[in-house]
Amino acid sequence: MDEVFPVAETMRISLSVCLTFFENINIAVKNLIIRRKKCGKYFVSLPQKYFDMAKYIYQHENWTGFVWDYNKIVVTLGEVRNLQGKLSGAMSALGFSLKSEAMLETLTLDIMKSSEIEGEKLNRKQVRSSVARRLGLETGGLTFVDKNIEGVVEMLLDATQNYTQDLSEDRLFGWHSALFPSGRSGMYKIEVGKYRTGEIQVVSGAMGKEKVHYKAVEAKNVKPEMDKFINWVNEKSSIDLVIKSAVAHLWFVTIHPFDDGNGRIARAISDMLLARSDESSQRFYSMSNQILKERKKYYTALEKAQCGNSDITFWLNWFLNCLKNALINTQTTLNNVLCKAEFWKKITEITINNRQRLMINKMLDGFSGKLTSSKWAKITKCSTDTALRDIKDLIEKGILNQDKAGGRSANYTFAS
């Protein structure tokens, strides 16, 4: 007859959760009590002592001694390295202006998508203007940029343009201060420019129905854990820098050293190490854009790694595949840049005023909705009559076409 544990010393969990639990903590228990309920679900009774064991990766002894099965990632790593080389070769064949435009588009996209992963949507025009100004490129005349956007841009550009500089506590504190210039995250006051002093959990779900996905390293251990992390990032090692980027991402968010902004800073560190792997500050692919597309898988991979042991093969496999997809999809950005260059090359002999140039670029960038004279007037800050004269001039020059519907509601598109 099976041994029966007293209720006070026993927890009841589903069989699938049980098997996952034991797989993660890498132990085996003999003579589990498994019973089938009338509803058809299987349950297992376990002594409480087993639930007092390590639940999160950092609770294991020497948890940062990460290991992985190289044979399971070597093919994807090779594909990533090959795609990096091809992209670098393709971009080196372009002129300075085209490379600058491609880099501006990529950095704008990366900054916007890293914030969007956290549920914050930034103004694209302001992000682009801030990036362009800091890179010494044409800003398109936009003067005002929100200080929060300036901070996000400043952090990513420091990470990627100064990728050869060592990571330091002071540099991280500077990034964190740039992300939260008001000292608040939304309505809530947070600790800015320093490590957190309180405990933190990653939760989801409505109030009263929250699900705890992860409980971060205790606040008292954040400083020594971060010292170890920073030393590891800066030290020279035989680890491939793409792999190092993946490990650093997981390691940082596992410590979760700040009150807020940990995800964005983790991705900035990852981008810094990817820049080192490319040996270039010029960015032509966006990991954050791809992570946003695969956000559900991203959080699943993180949770599995953080609730497991030091074998992070699953996480590395996901990261490398995500990066491979980012490199493949960057062709879209490159094609857009090349299409714009080809368009301006075709009309290089045609006289275009500044308002027309602004609107043509907006259309080439993927103007939202249908172009009308009223929208033209609003964007270029001119009268409707002036807007109509600009548009008719471009129609006469064979650049724009008017849709069949006429009048004030007429729409305009590029001539084929």
- Greater confidence (241 vs 411) lies with 241
| pLDDT score for 307 | 92
CATH of the domain spanning 70-339: 1.10.3290.10
Q: What percent of the chain has pLDDT over 70?
A: 85
Question: Residues spanned by CATH 1.10.10.10 within the chain?
Answer: 354-414
Q: What type of residue sits at position 391?
A: I
Query: What is d(CA 251, CA 267) in angstroms, rounded to the nearest whole number?
Result: 12
CB 247 within 8 A of CB 237: no
Q: How confident is the model at residue 15 (pLDDT cuts 50, 70, 90)?
A: very low
Q: What is the pLDDT of residues 19-29, one digit of tens each?
A: 444 444 444 44
Which 8-state DSSP code applies to residue 70? Answer: G
Judged against a pLDDT cut of 90, whether residue 254 lies above it is answered with yes
Q: What average pLDDT does the chain have?
A: 85
CB 131 within 8 A of CB 157: yes
Q: How confident is the model at residue 406 (pLDDT cuts 50, 70, 90)?
A: low
**Strand pairing partners for 414?**
400
CATH of the domain spanning 354-414: 1.10.10.10
Phi and psi at 389, nearest 5°, equal: -65, -40
Phi and psi at 214, nearest 5°, equal: -165, 140
Question: Residues spanned by CATH 1.10.3290.10 within the chain?
Answer: 70-339
Q: What is the mean pLDDT of residues 399-413?
A: 80
Q: What is the pLDDT of residues 112-134, one digit of tens each?
A: 999 999 989 999 889 999 999 99
Q: How confident is the model at residue 91 (pLDDT cuts 50, 70, 90)?
A: confident
Which pTM was predicted? 0.75
SS3 state at 254: helix
| DSSP, residue by residue, 150-203 | HHHHHHHHHHHHTTTSPP-HHHHHHHHHHH-TTSEETTEE---SS---S--EEE
Q: What is the mean pLDDT of residues 346-371?
A: 87
Judged against a pLDDT cut of 80, whether residue 184 lies above it is answered with yes
Q: What is the pLDDT of residues 289-332, one digit of tens each?
A: 999 999 999 999 999 999 999 999 999 999 999 999 999 988 77
Long-range residue pairs from 77-83, CB within 8 A, at least 24 positions apart, any chain: 77/240, 77/242, 77/243, 77/320, 79/324, 80/242, 80/320, 80/323, 80/324, 80/327, 81/242, 83/324, 83/327, 83/328
